[in-house]
A and B are shown apart, each in its own frame.
Chain A
């Protein structure tokens, strides 16, 4: 009876509601595609414009160049030079180095905190820890960067005797502070949403709290944790202000984590304001933006695929 009265009205509403939500979802998609298209558009002259190609072609940006006659060919990022040099490799290495350190720092801390908070903490502790870590995410990155530049760099140099005050480790740790809340939040949610039937089954079989946490809950939550790590990595690669302030911004090819470094994102931020509109440098910076976009996209895609596979495997084993 009730259902009959409700039905005709709800059909129209349902239809409209559904479409509205679909449009919302599409809007985000369209925005991303448009952003990518416009960024890439500014980078196109690198592929088409002869004049710009003389300064910066894909070839010149990728491979070692003999910038001065008679000197060894090398990779170098010196855009404001008599002979502009636009090798991307030093920047790519910098970006990866910073993200690597950030992940090494943030994964154990973020996941560890999540395990504690979801499994072992008393309710009171949990109510303190969770908001506290999540508040870390609310700190503007420029503040984190400033903190790293003025305080963290000094402390770390005194502690470890770094030759370079600003280096990949310092920048990575500061970056890690920005990544921890992302990993923590997602991982913690994943662990608390593991069905209690699994937990109960483990306990019923005679396992203690530790064993259940580490061998039952943690593996079941692994896809969620992995998703958090991927999200965190995306943030670490794209984060700008922290690395701009704390990495030293020296474009060096070096595997050492204690050397200074320069990231793709920081280069864009530092140089775009100065660049002459329509110049080779301008196009190169937009090319870098495109590159950054593609990298984060690929990382997220791989992460998504990995998570899906993990979930399937997990469900296959459980069912």
Chain B
């Protein structure tokens, strides 16, 4: 019995050695993790000797992993902070940034909410606590219930920088682990408002966003983000340690290819423009 077990174990060990041709680890942004997974699946189908391990955890987690040398590719929904660039330098790591897709941050309401659109100023007021009641933005007389992300999320940081103008979120904001949880909460909370990546938001109502009081409200969609009319959008990045070579280079260039970008669009991410993708390709 014991012998059989030992043989079995050895076999498994041997098999895992044979299978591990090249292993690529990808870690980081929860916003990008779904796209990363689809890309990895597709890429591994074409290149059976490559094993890609992918995990989320937030942009900050991914960047920390890159700096500690525990991941090959870091997915991030924000650029690295000055502090992090400096830390990378100290550790002898040369971050190489490639933007692989675009993302719109959608603001969403419960489907029963009559409010259709918000201006940038109103959004800021709502999330900093200056506007507390839906009545003030054309809704019913009810307290606005804020939902957001934990402060290790790239989306949290981006929204804070872009919409809140770096002011603090209202302390009553309920922060949840992951955009899916925010969407779920808002879909069940009549007076809720939340924000998150475009690709996740199902079962809630998108808010049209006006860049200022004179412009038209624009609903977030692949099209409006891609052509730049939707005001809350950002680039999504892959960071490498140094300019990628070998299998890593092949992978990123494939992701930027027509095929890779088409996959992104299929699962509701916003593809880069043709010229953009071409410009980002690693030579």
Report A's interface with B, CB cutoff 8 A: 76-82, 85, 90, 149-150, 153-154, 157, 163-166, 244-245, 248-252, 259-260, 270-271, 273-277, 279
Contact = CB atoms under 8 A, between A and B. Distances in A.
Contact of A273 (B61, B160, B168, B188): B61
Interface in B163-196: 166-169, 171-177, 181, 184-185, 188-189, 192
B143 A81 contact: no
Contact of A165 (B84, B175, B188): B188
Interface string B104-118: 000000000000000
Given A248-B175, A250-B175, A154 B152 contact: no
Contact of B174 (A79, A85, A260): A260
Interface string B44-62: 0000000000000110110
Give the 7 A-B residue pairs with the shortest CB-CB distance, closest first.
A274-B60, A274-B152, A248-B174, A249-B175, A80-B151, A273-B61, A270-B150
A153 B64 CA distance: 33
Contacts of B87: 276-277
Interface of B: 57-58, 60-61, 64, 83-84, 87, 143, 145, 150-152, 156-157, 160, 166-169, 171-177, 181, 184-185, 188-189, 192
5 contacts: A77-B171, A150-B184, A245-B176, A250-B174, A276-B84
B143 to A, nearest CB: 6
B168 A78 contact: yes
B151 to A, nearest CB: 4
Nearest to B188: A154
Contacts of B169: 78
A279 B57 CA distance: 20
Contacts of B172: 164, 250, 252, 259-260
Contacts, number: 88
B174 A166 contact: yes
A275 B64 CA distance: 8
Nearest to B189: A165
A250 B171 contact: yes
Contacts of A252: 171-172
A81 B173 CA distance: 15
B69 to A, nearest CB: 13
Contacts of A279: 83
Contacts of A166: 174, 176, 185
Contact of A163 (B143, B175, B177): B143
Contacts of B160: 80
Contacts of A248: 174-176
B127 to A, nearest CB: 13
Contacts of A163: 143, 145
A49 to B, nearest CB: 16
Nearest to A81: B168
B152 A270 contact: yes
A274 B175 contact: no
Nearest to B192: A165
A261 B174 CA distance: 8
Nearest to B174: A248
B177 A244 contact: yes
Contacts of A85: 168
Contacts of B156: 80
A157 B188 CA distance: 10
A248 B57 CA distance: 19
The winner among A79, A150, A244, A260 for most chain B CB atoms within 10 A is: A260
Nearest to B86: A276
B171 A164 contact: no
A193 B83 CA distance: 60
Contacts of B177: 244-245, 270
A163 to B, nearest CB: 6
Contacts of A164: 145, 172, 174
A270 B174 contact: no
Contacts of B171: 76-78, 90, 250-252
The winner among B175, B176, B181 for most chain A CB atoms within 10 A is: B175
A154 B188 CA distance: 7
Contacts of A78: 168-169, 171
B152 A273 contact: yes
A275 B209 CA distance: 32
A211 B168 CA distance: 60
Contacts of A249: 150, 174-176
A76 B177 CA distance: 21
A81 B192 CA distance: 24
